[in-house]
A and B are shown apart, each in its own frame.
Chain A
Amino acid sequence: MLRMALLFLCVAALSLFLGRYPTTGFLSPAMLARDELARTLLLNLRLPRVLTAILLGTCLGSSGMVFQMIFANPLVEPGFLGVSQGAAFGAGLGIIFLGNNSWLVQACAALFAFAGLLLSYLLAHRIRFGGWILRLVLAGISISALFSAGVGILKYIADPLGQLPEITFWLLGGLWSVNWSRVLAILPVVLAGLGVIFGRRWRLNLLALSDETVHSLGAKPGRERILLLAAAVASTAAVISVCGVVGWIGLIVPHVSRRLFGVDTRFSLPGSMLIGALFTLLCDDCVRVAMAAEIPLGILTSLIGAAFFLVLMTSKGMKVQR
Chain B
Amino acid sequence: MKDPLLAFNEVTFGYHQSGNRKEESWREGIIEIDPEQGRSEPAVVRSKGSRAVVPKTGFTVSKSPGPGALEQTVAGQKRSGPVVTSVQCVHSRESDVLRGLSFSIFSGSATAVLGPNGVGKTTLLFLALGWLKAQGGEVVLAGRPVHTYGQSERGRLMSLVPQREHIPFEYSLLEYVLLGRAPHLRPLEMPGEEDRRIALDSLKRVGLGEKPTRSINRLSSGERQLLLLARSLVQRPRLLLLDEPTSHLDVGNKKRIVDLLKGMQSEGITLLFTTHDPQVAASLADQLLLMRRGVVAKAGAPEEVLTTDLLTETYGVEVRVVKVDGEIVILWT
A residues bordering B, Cβ < 8 Å? 69, 72-74, 128, 199-200, 202-203, 205-206, 208-213, 215-220, 258, 262-264, 266, 319, 321-322
Nearest CB in chain A to that of B168: its residue: A72
B188 near A199 with CB under 8 A, answer yes
Given A202-B190, A319-B217: A262 touches B172 (CB 8 Å cut-off): yes
Given A74-B168, A210-B165, A212-B126: A218 touches B217 (CB 8 Å cut-off): no
Residues in B whose Cβ lies below 8 Å from that of A209: 165, 167, 179
Residues in B whose Cβ lies below 8 Å from that of A199: 187-188
Known A-B contacts: A209-B179, A217-B180, A264-B175. Give 15 more (CB < 8 A).
A73-B168, A202-B189, A203-B187, A206-B179, A209-B165, A209-B167, A213-B160, A213-B165, A215-B129, A216-B159, A216-B241, A217-B182, A218-B152, A263-B169, A322-B168
Bound-complex Cα distance A209 to B156 (A): 18
Q: List 5 A-B contacts (CB under 8 A).
A: A206-B179, A210-B162, A215-B129, A216-B158, A216-B159
Minimum distance in angstroms from A152 CB to a CB of chain B? 34
Minimum distance in angstroms from A253 CB to a CB of chain B? 15
Bound-complex Cα distance A110 to B158 (A): 43
Q: Is B131 an interface residue (CB 8 A)?
A: yes
Residues in B whose Cβ lies below 8 Å from that of A266: 190
Bound-complex Cα distance A215 to B180 (A): 11
Residues in B whose Cβ lies below 8 Å from that of A263: 169-172, 175
Residues in A whose Cβ lies below 8 Å from that of B188: 199-200
Residues in A whose Cβ lies below 8 Å from that of B126: 212
Minimum distance in angstroms from B182 CB to a CB of chain A? 4
8 Å CB contact of B160 from A72, A208, A212, A264: A212
Q: Is B235 an interface residue (CB 8 A)?
A: yes
The 10 lowest CB-CB distance pairs between A and B, nearest first, are A218-B155, A218-B183, A216-B160, A72-B168, A218-B152, A263-B169, A217-B182, A264-B175, A199-B188, A215-B131
Q: Is B154 an interface residue (CB 8 A)?
A: yes
Q: Is B40 an interface residue (CB 8 A)?
A: no
Minimum distance in angstroms from A73 CB to a CB of chain B? 7
Q: Is B191 an interface residue (CB 8 A)?
A: yes
B169 near A74 with CB under 8 A, answer yes
Chain B: how many interface residues by the 8 Å CB criterion? 37
Residues in A whose Cβ lies below 8 Å from that of B131: 211-212, 215-216
A208 near B182 with CB under 8 A, answer no
8 Å CB contact of B175 from A212, A217, A220, A262: A262
A321 near B170 with CB under 8 A, answer yes
A264 near B171 with CB under 8 A, answer yes
Nearest CB in chain B to that of A265: its residue: B169
Instruction: Output the residue of B156, B166, B169, B179 with the most chain A CB within 10 A.
Output: B169
Bound-complex Cα distance A219 to B182 (A): 8
Bound-complex Cα distance A308 to B158 (A): 45
Q: Is B151 an interface residue (CB 8 A)?
A: yes
Bound-complex Cα distance A217 to B187 (A): 12
Residues in B whose Cβ lies below 8 Å from that of A72: 166, 168
B162 near A217 with CB under 8 A, answer no
Bound-complex Cα distance A47 to B181 (A): 43
B17 near A217 with CB under 8 A, answer no
A217 near B179 with CB under 8 A, answer yes
Bound-complex Cα distance A72 to B167 (A): 8
Bound-complex Cα distance A213 to B180 (A): 10
Minimum distance in angstroms from B130 CB to a CB of chain A? 7
Nearest CB in chain B to that of A258: its residue: B169
Minimum distance in angstroms from A200 CB to a CB of chain B? 7
Instruction: Output the residue of A73, A209, A218 with the most chain B CB within 10 A.
Output: A218
Residues in B whose Cβ lies below 8 Å from that of A258: 169
Bound-complex Cα distance A210 to B84 (A): 48
Minimum distance in angstroms from B42 CB to a CB of chain A? 38
Residues in A whose Cβ lies below 8 Å from that of B172: 262-264
Minimum distance in angstroms from A198 CB to a CB of chain B? 10
Residues in B whose Cβ lies below 8 Å from that of A220: 151
